[in-house]
């Protein structure tokens, strides 16, 4: 099974200035098989993106909130802890 899904942000801590770029990266510590990723904000079901990275080029006020990365290898699904993104 998958485990150790972690989320990191650039800039660190998820504090980003209005109009700047935000890059979120998802990593999996343990698990085998072809991995698929999806990104979610505020518990919404519709994914914001797929892939190990989520890039927001021009962050707006509506982009603040809690982001989560979900990783799956077909057999199991694991989620990262939520990261709170603050738009300054």
Q: What is the pLDDT of residue 29?
A: 95
Q: Which residues constitute the domain of residue 70? A: 3-87
Q: What is the pLDDT of residue 43?
A: 74
pLDDT, tens digit only, all 88 positions of the chain: 899 999 999 999 999 999 999 999 999 999 888 999 999 999 788 999 999 999 999 999 999 999 999 999 988 999 999 999 999 9
CATH code assigned at 14: 2.60.40.10
End-to-end alpha carbon distance in the chain: 38
Q: Are 73 and 31 in contact (CB under 8 A)?
A: yes
Q: How many domains does the chain have?
A: 1
Q: Are 52 and 46 in contact (CB under 8 A)?
A: no
Q: What is the pLDDT of residue 45?
A: 84
- Give the pTM: 0.91
């Amino acid at each position: 099974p998958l485990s150790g899904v972690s989320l990191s942000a650039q800039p660190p801590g998820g504090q980003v200035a209005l109009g700047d770029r935000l890059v979120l990266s998802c990593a999996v510590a343990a698990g085998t098989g072809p991995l698929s990723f999806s990104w979610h904000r505020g518990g919404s079901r519709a994914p914001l993106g797929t892939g190990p990275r989520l890039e927001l080029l021009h962050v707006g006020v509506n982009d603040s909130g809690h982001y989560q990365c979900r990783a799956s290898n077909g057999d199991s699904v694991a989620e990262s802890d939520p990261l709170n993104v603050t738009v300054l």
